[in-house]
Structure 1
């Protein structure tokens, strides 16, 4: 990115509702008891950036995307409905066919002006997604909010607010792939979407059978809690080159994944930067896709399932133990907690949600991390080729700034690396950057 902040203006046309291209079933569909937990009741923005494509010169990207979206909504018709809340805070989709909110826009800027390496935080992001529906409101609102912005150079930026109660990362990618297929001329999705949310409903009677430390109710201390000072929150992305990963591996005396290494490093540096007391408990919640953990002999085939199908088991230790031990200590905790997610574990979460009023996960001295490296959002191709960037628009998740993602990224030198977009108060962010530099510099 350039050293001086990029400022530009966006001219928006009248927002409109895009409806399914043909009639769709009018019905009410229940979300699963994994979908409607409090921790997923928010919208998460994704951004897709494309260069000018000479072969698409005669095609208006707004028209192409709008028409393809209308066709996609025939297959994903619940997205054209509205979320309702019933007895016991149960969420459901009223499939009304009212449509998704769509905004056409133009910006007086070229893609080159964004610099060599596009990544969060994006300049003037509020210009690229006009929040007409209220980003934290999900009941009786359009389930999708989309803005397509043409750039002066012929490139385009697509930003979408996804309602997290409807889909996880796998489901979002599936929807985007179908939309892109329709834009390129397909008439049917290559993967047919399936609803089947009943497979993740609580049992009758519900019964919590596993230990879920991610939902423990922890009271914040009376003293100032540094991580929740949201008045000075900064967004910043950190990058791990192959040489950085190799350097970090030297700190761990056993084999582990790149995800484990980056997660441990993030947890360690963040905890050090927060300057907690040694006895303070800290927790790391790891998003685990549970599709492969299910016994398909007892459940329907899950190909095409676009709902939330994950858990975030929590490993807990003290700030003192985490910061005084080697990085291998954190890696071992993370490796162990990932193995906890089984079919029974997911079922136990669904039961817990019914018993505990769809409670929020523990937010005190907590962080959550999700691996988006396999999703390959950059490969979503509407006809303008692979994206310059495709993925989350920022760190944090809804009202919780402690969430981050491991995102594949290609830097200005063309190196494949990993990006970690995070949110922290400004002074804590400075200390985080210093801690990370210290670890990497000592190994180089």
Structure 2
């Protein structure tokens, strides 16, 4: 059967403009936390929202989403005025927001395409992303650049696309959704956000003196002696759906004492780690890492204040030899993932902040690592600018940062049968992708845990 040609369309953009706060805001310097300004967050992360044609709510008045969102953005930047500033670097590479009020980049656009042309199921990778979120030259540097870039693109069907690029040092997913929701509330007629923004970044600063109390394997310096960082050429991008049936199939491979108690994130992460390792075919003795994004807001006592929109997560890592991951049943990887997640406490976060202070804000380990982030509860799809909830809302692509193939998001998704589940975008070298699909199919259709070790031994022998 002939493959459907990729969707191509033309986007007409107006010149980028700076949207400034609607009212005067304080000109001051605000320090980021020692969790915010670590090296691994010094990049811009893209988000995309697709909205169907609907009658706007009464509060929007104007039926043009570009005008409504532009004005709401200016008003939201009054309480969220740090977003209108620029990052500077102080002593010891400490990042500080210079609250200049210069504004955020905004692009008005129209596309010669309908929402239905993107297909029945909206999921990354999205065609034409570079046109729907245009990289304004000179806008994506770490320092002295706008902290937000927003493009609103009208579609021929009357719907629109809201695409955003955020400097990750400013916020994590919950913090970004909080800001986007504030813009949405104002767009729908509110005079102020229902949740007031809280800066308070000092609560996640390093202690004086720093006390590193954990072994943070996620920040270990690992030499890539065997060229096992994924190559940048010939990469394949695919997305996989995991509904109730797929998750039940994976749970059959878990040991009996964990089959019902482990979370969906844990079982899916263990499966991804195992299948991806076998697909890449590293040397059996090579150490492989799976890095889990863990939201630590609830780990603090007292909890972080409501409205805190800074980064408040950890990168705990599970580490194992490639041969063990391929040879052992899924329960082996599952135990390691659960242990890594359970390590995250308030003291763990304090230790991470201290580690950043004493190591010069070290990047998390990339060599033979894979990072996963669950955004199923982040609330991107619930953001409403006056035209209802998004048909799709969340990460614009599967990877994180400048290095493709080292990360995946778990994104909420409803398939064409109406079943709710998770879509997993993944990027791998083309040949490895074929092997990953085979490994995953074996896991979903294969024997339960009692017989899994024999099956995996065969996989290991093929490495």
TM-score between both structures, scaled by the size of structure 2: 0.92
3-state SS of paired residue (1:75): coil
Q: Deviation per CA, 1:300-332, whole angstroms, max 9, x where unpaired?
A: x52110000111111111011111111111111
3-state SS of paired residue (2:185): helix
Partner of 1:272: 278
Contact 1:394–1:422 under 8 Å retained in 2: no
Partner of 1:46: 47
Range that drifts further, 141-150 or 49-58: 49-58
Distance 2:337 2:37 in 1: 26
3-state SS of paired residue (1:231): coil
Contact 2:62–2:68 under 8 Å retained in 1: no
Partner of 2:456: none
Q: Deviation per CA, 1:36-76, whole angstroms, max 9, x where unpaired?
A: 00000000000000000034696110000000000110011
Distance 1:393 1:10 in 2: 17
Range that drifts further, 53-62 or 119-128: 53-62
Shift of 1:277: 1.1
Shift of 1:93: 0.3
Distance 2:435 2:362 in 1: 32
Contact 1:397–1:403 under 8 Å retained in 2: yes
1:408 and 2:412 are equivalent in the alignment: yes
- Pick the aligned partner of 1:380 from 380, 383, 387: 383
Partner of 1:349: 352
Shift of 1:348: 0.8
- Pick the aligned partner of 1:364 from 356, 363, 367: 367
Shift of 1:376: 2.2
Range that drifts further, 424-433 or 119-128: 424-433
1:75 and 2:79 are equivalent in the alignment: yes
Partner of 1:183: 187
Gaps of 5+ in 2: 449-463
Shift of 1:442: 2.1
Distance 1:382 1:434 in 2: 42
CA-based RMSD of the aligned residues comes to 1.5
- Structure 1 residues 252 and 98: alpha-carbon distance in aligned structure 2, compared to 1, 3 A threshold: same
Partner of 1:194: 198
3-state SS of paired residue (2:310): coil
1:228 and 2:230 are equivalent in the alignment: yes
1:287 and 2:293 are equivalent in the alignment: yes
Range that drifts further, 64-73 or 406-415: 406-415
Distance 1:243 1:426 in 2: 27
Partner of 1:20: 21
Distance 1:43 1:112 in 2: 29
1:137 and 2:144 are equivalent in the alignment: no
Report 1:108-187 matches (<5 A). Answer: 108-134=112-138, 136-187=140-191
Distance 1:355 1:224 in 2: 29
Distance 2:447 2:387 in 1: 41
Range that drifts further, 52-61 or 253-262: 52-61
1:215 and 2:216 are equivalent in the alignment: no
Report 1:244-259 matches (<5 A). Answer: 244-253=246-255, 254=258, 255-259=261-265
3-state SS of paired residue (1:119): coil
Gaps of 5+ in 1: none
Residues paired across the two proteins, number: 438
Contact 2:284–2:323 under 8 Å retained in 1: yes
- Structure 1 residues 134 and 428: alpha-carbon distance in aligned structure 2, compared to 1, 3 A threshold: farther
Partner of 1:91: 95
Distance 2:307 2:371 in 1: 26
Q: Deviation per CA, 1:355-374, whole angstroms, max 9, x where unpaired?
A: 10111111110011111111
3-state SS of paired residue (2:446): helix
Contact 2:410–2:424 under 8 Å retained in 1: yes
Range that drifts further, 176-185 or 49-58: 49-58
Contact 1:43–1:135 under 8 Å retained in 2: no
3-state SS of paired residue (2:233): helix
- Pick the aligned partner of 1:321 from 321, 324, 336: 324
Range that drifts further, 248-257 or 18-27: 248-257
Range that drifts further, 131-140 or 377-386: 131-140
Contact 2:235–2:428 under 8 Å retained in 1: yes
TM-score between both structures, scaled by the size of structure 1: 0.96
Partner of 2:6: 5
Shift of 1:224: 3.6
- Structure 1 residues 263 and 399: alpha-carbon distance in aligned structure 2, compared to 1, 3 A threshold: same
Range that drifts further, 249-258 or 143-152: 249-258
3-state SS of paired residue (1:74): coil
3-state SS of paired residue (2:250): helix
